[in-house]
Amino acid sequence: MYKERKGDKMKYTNNYKLPEYACDILKQDTYDKQEGKYSATELINGGLMNALIRKHQDDIIKDVTDNIWTVFGNAVHSYIENLPSKYVKELRVETPIEFEYYNPDKGVSETMEVTITSKGDLYIPGEKRLVDVKNTSKYATMYNKVKPEWEAQLNINRYIYKKNLLPIEHLEILCFYKDLGKIDSMKHDFCDIPLEVIKIPTWTMEETEEYIIDRVKVQLEERQCNEFERWRKPEQYKVKKRGAKRATANFNNYSDAEEKRFKMKKPGEYEIEYHKGEDKRCLEYCDVKRFCNYYKENYG
């Protein structure tokens, strides 16, 4: 299991030669892990990724600029801490969870118990509402899509709160869009301001418990990160008018793209552009990629 650790022990590079004060601001990482316990955030991550973090925690090297948006996130949390007392801020709760687990070393199934933890950003008891605050990109939620891992994370939090007799009927995310200027929002008709409240559907307690147990097993078995956990963007075949910036249509296989091209009024004016699939998390958001064989094989 992880050791308790704060960001000041993390090794940092300063690839962009920023002044010392900028580095000191950026190095205020607030990573912390409670030994022997799984948080909602950890449970939604890949088993391999968490296992590599445990194994290599003292060898992880980040550039200070990797923390730019973490600093913004922490700043928002400081504002939350100043809210009046009718709001419960960053309450940490935990609950044990028991399940049957096949122990491959002993060759038998046994009852296992682990503790799962939650730290909600903002709990409003009078409204039975739990709010999670995220700095994110508008593209992550375009067309009102709720990221499945966000939905899971909030429902795990709700499960743990409810086990601690803190009722929750409403789950929502307050999204701060870091990439949405006013002009963009008007042009694309997203929303008028770079801020949005997204309602999250609630799961039954039984569904959530089943999901949690499955995710604990993923962690115990240190399973290879799947496509979903790697934030896989599939390969695409784009049908484009020659010289145009935007595609007329996108497909995930060549034959559908070719069929579309032939159906255009002047097929000769169109071409098919291939875009390789990629794993966004592996490429941009995984601190342990240099220890990971999947990364080495695909991107190393």
List of residues contacting ligand SF4 (CB under 6 A)? 46, 48-49, 52, 225, 230, 279, 281-282, 286, 288-289, 292, 294-295
C-alpha distance across the termini of the chain, in Å:
28
Q: Closest distance between ligand SF4 and the C-beta of residue 24, in Å?
A: 28
Q: Closest distance between ligand SF4 and the C-beta of residue 46, in Å?
A: 5
Q: Closest distance between ligand SF4 and the C-beta of residue 282, in Å?
A: 3
Q: Closest distance between ligand SF4 and the C-beta of residue 41, in Å?
A: 14
Burial 29-54 (b: 16+ CB within 10 A, else e): bebebeeeebbbebbbbbbbbbbbbe
Paired tokens of 162: 């409810």
User: Which CB, 9 or 55, lies closer to ligand SF4?
Assistant: 55
67, 101, 214, 223 from 217: Cα distances, Å: 30, 8, 5, 9
User: Which CB, 223 or 241, lies closer to ligand SF4?
Assistant: 223
| 161 vs 132: CA distance, rounded Å | 14
User: Which CB, 33 or 289, lies closer to ligand SF4?
Assistant: 289
Edge-first strand listing for the sheet containing 270-275: 249-251, 236-241, 270-275
User: Which CB, 258 or 278, lies closer to ligand SF4?
Assistant: 278
Q: Closest distance between ligand SF4 and the C-beta of residue 47, in Å?
A: 9
User: Which CB, 196 or 279, lies closer to ligand SF4?
Assistant: 279
Q: Find the angle CA(228)-CA(229)-CA(233) to the nearest 5 degrees.
A: 50
